[in-house]
Structure 1
Amino acid sequence: MPELQPDRSPRFDDELLGLDPADPEAQAFAAHLDRMQRQRPAYTVEGYLDGVRDFAESANRAEGGRRLGAVLVAGLLLAVAAFLVWEALMFVVATWL
């Protein structure tokens, strides 16, 4: 059995047989396949955080309009979260007074 290099995906021995493991495009495709077939826990905090991590990683890889869209979505989510925290804080302060 051939030895695996640390950065080499085992997919080159199975699904990507015949592709050059040193080719950056083949490595990117193997990483894409790894992300697509990753099993994450559903309906748990860990599953949701994995989804956020995947969104952040894909936003970092994006360029142009997609990156701008990802930044706008993230900014909108942060603005809504800040508004909700502010409203909750004001409710607590108003209740105590």
Structure 2
Amino acid sequence: MGTMPDDEATRRRRLFDDELVGLDPDDPEAQEFADHLNRMQRADPAFTVEGSLRGVADFAEGSTRASGLRWWTAVLIILLLLLGVVVGAWDQLSAFVTHLAG
């Protein structure tokens, strides 16, 4: 059987002990860097549902921290994705109605 995932405090403590030696674990900037380093080193498969959801969660978390042009870029990406979903749904719905009528 697999092991249980570590809680956030244990993971961060291990990261500061192993890779961020010399940085203050209580410093907010060092904590943000540790979180960034953890996201960069994570090698989850992106082709699974869990991996896809984690990617969406990372994007959402990053876009909430962004400001200025990065925030507007994230909003534009989200709007384009929603537009694609609406156009695809409309196309499928119109094809279904045509099939029922014909």
Q: Is the 8 A contact 1:40 1:47 kept in 2?
A: yes
Q: Could you say if the C-alpha distance between residues 89 and 46 of structure 1 is closer, same or farther in structure 2, counting changes exceeding 3 Å?
A: same
1:50-81 deviation per Cα after TM superposition (whole angstroms, max 9, x unaligned):
22221111111111100000001101100110
2:88 pairs, out of 80, 84, 88, with 84
Q: Which ranges of structure 2 fall in alignment gaps of 5 or more residues?
A: 1-7
| Residue equivalent to 1:22 | 26
Are positions 1:93 and 2:79 aligned together? no
Aligned counterpart for 1:46 among listed residues 50, 54, 68: 50
Matched length: 93
Q: TM-score, normalised on structure 1?
A: 0.86
Contact 1:19/1:26 (<8 A) preserved: yes
- Sequence identity of aligned pairs in percent? 53
Structure with higher helix content: 2
Q: What do you get for the CA RMSD once the two structures are aligned?
A: 1.8
Kept after mapping to 1: 8 A contact 2:46/2:55: no
Amino acid at match of 2:61: E
Q: Distance in 1 between matches of 2:19 and 2:32?
A: 14
Displacement after TM superposition at 1:7 (Å): 7.5
- Render the CA deviation track for 1:4-63: whole Å, top value 9, x for unaligned: x93871211111111111111100000001111112124222222222221111111111
